[in-house]
Amino acid sequence: MSRIEEIAAHPPVPPDEAALHAFPGARPPARQGFVDAHGVRLATYEWGQADAPPVLLVHGALDFARTFDVFAPLIADAGFRVVAYDQRGHGNSAAAALYGWVADERDMLCVADAVSPLPFPVIGHSKGGSLLIHAAEALPHRFTRFACIDGMPFRSPHPESATRARRSMSPKVITDWLNHRHTAATAERRPGPLQELARRRARMNPRLSHEWLCYLVSQGASVDADGWRWKLDPAIRPGGFGAMRSRWMTDRLPGFPIPLLALFSTIEEPMGWDCKMEDLLPYLPASARALAMPDTGHFIHIERPRETADLVIDFLRQA
């Protein structure tokens, strides 16, 4: 993988904060660097031996590659070179003039090409899972296996009509997005003490411990004289506009071209994915393996890292 430069380290950790920068089982990446994705610099992270068989991890929206700091080492210790990256506008990757689904897919393919020209397995969480669904359907020769962690495309329970499609392109929706984009050019994330940022994140991740969320801040935020700020471009926000019908995704799943392991959460939470296993089962190929993780929220690989890793490792090792 080509590297442009090393990522700058955080300033020295104050002694009274040292415990907040660690978490049991978390291991920093062995190697860090950047990949150029059509002019957008994407930060990359690697665990495991550099010459081991590669596997790519893709994180979800408003998230970071370092959310894999417990999960990725478990996969690496099974004999894989694990590569993750921050999506554009997230973490240590550059902000961009454009954010959108296709841009994220192109970025992902640039990282994949930098990892290896040969096909290899991939793992995606949340939005990262659905990005990989699209990529694998379009380029089935590029990947060998796909493990999806609560990121399967969901089947809308609402009737899909031309009226519903037009509503997503209404003047109000488009105007709201354009106004947000104009104000985001000069906006900054609100700063605060490390533990305050952790408490803010807890509103979206109520099932994750305060200790883990503090660790996440230490890896996903930057600190200056004003305090800590999440490393997320203020232009980024959930949702979007444009014509979209869920069947455009689900109707292609029966012919999904590579082996698929799909893990589903069973507890709803604010930063969730709104996808239940029973809703997707009619659309999955017969060869796919689907598992609902009992009493588990959206961040399956953080709540149950060892169990999730064991399932994924067993899947990756199958011929």
pLDDT tens digit sequence for 147-159: 999 999 876 555 5
In a domain, 220, yes or no: no
* Average pLDDT of the segment spanning 191-196: 95
In a domain, 184, yes or no: no
Percentage with pLDDT > 90 across the chain: 71
Strands 289-292 and 260-264: parallel
In a domain, 208, yes or no: no
Residues 6+ positions from 116 with CB-CB distance below 8 Å: 54
Domain of residue 81, residue span = 15-156+243-316
Helix segments in the chain, DSSP class H? 71-76, 101-115, 127-138, 162-167, 171-184, 194-202, 210-220, 247-250, 277-280, 300-303, 305-316
In a domain, 148, yes or no: yes
SS (H, E, C) 59-89: CCCCCCHHHHCCHHHHHHCCCCEEEEECCCC
In a domain, 289, yes or no: yes
Give the tokens for residue 45: 């992270």
Do the Cβ atoms of 125 and 308 come closer than 8 Å? Answer: no
Give the tokens for residue 30: 């062995």
- What are the angstrom distances between the C-alpha of 115 and each of 85, 102, 144? 11, 20, 14
Cα 231 → chain centroid: 15
* Confidence category of residue 20, pLDDT binned at 50, 70, 90: confident
Q: List pLDDT tens digits, range 236-278.
A: 876 665 555 667 778 889 999 999 999 999 999 998 887 889 9
Residue with the bigger pLDDT between 56 and 163: it is: 56
Residues 6+ positions from 278 with CB-CB distance below 8 Å: none
* Confidence category of residue 168, pLDDT binned at 50, 70, 90: low
Query: For 144, phi and psi rounded to 5 degrees?
Result: -100, -35
Number of C-alpha atoms within 13 angstroms, CB side, residue 199?
Answer: 6
* Total number of domains constituting the chain: 1
Do the Cβ atoms of 290 and 253 come closer than 8 Å? Answer: no
* Confidence category of residue 174, pLDDT binned at 50, 70, 90: confident
Residue 5 is predicted with a pLDDT of: 46
Per the DSSP assignment, residues forming a β-bridge with 45 are: 32, 84
Q: List pLDDT tens digits, range 196-247.
A: 999 999 999 999 999 999 999 999 999 999 999 999 999 887 666 555 566 7
Residues 6+ positions from 118 with CB-CB distance below 8 Å: none
Residue 112 is predicted with a pLDDT of: 97
Question: Is pLDDT above 60 for 161?
Answer: no
In a domain, 109, yes or no: yes
Query: What's 121's domain CATH number?
Result: 3.40.50.1820
Q: List pLDDT tens digits, range 35-94.
A: 999 999 999 999 999 999 999 999 999 999 999 999 999 999 999 999 999 999 999 999
Residue 248 is predicted with a pLDDT of: 72
Residue 262 is predicted with a pLDDT of: 98
Average pLDDT score over the chain: 88
258-140-60-232 Cα dihedral, nearest 10 degrees: 160
Do the Cβ atoms of 204 and 197 come closer than 8 Å? Answer: no
In a domain, 231, yes or no: no
In a domain, 162, yes or no: no
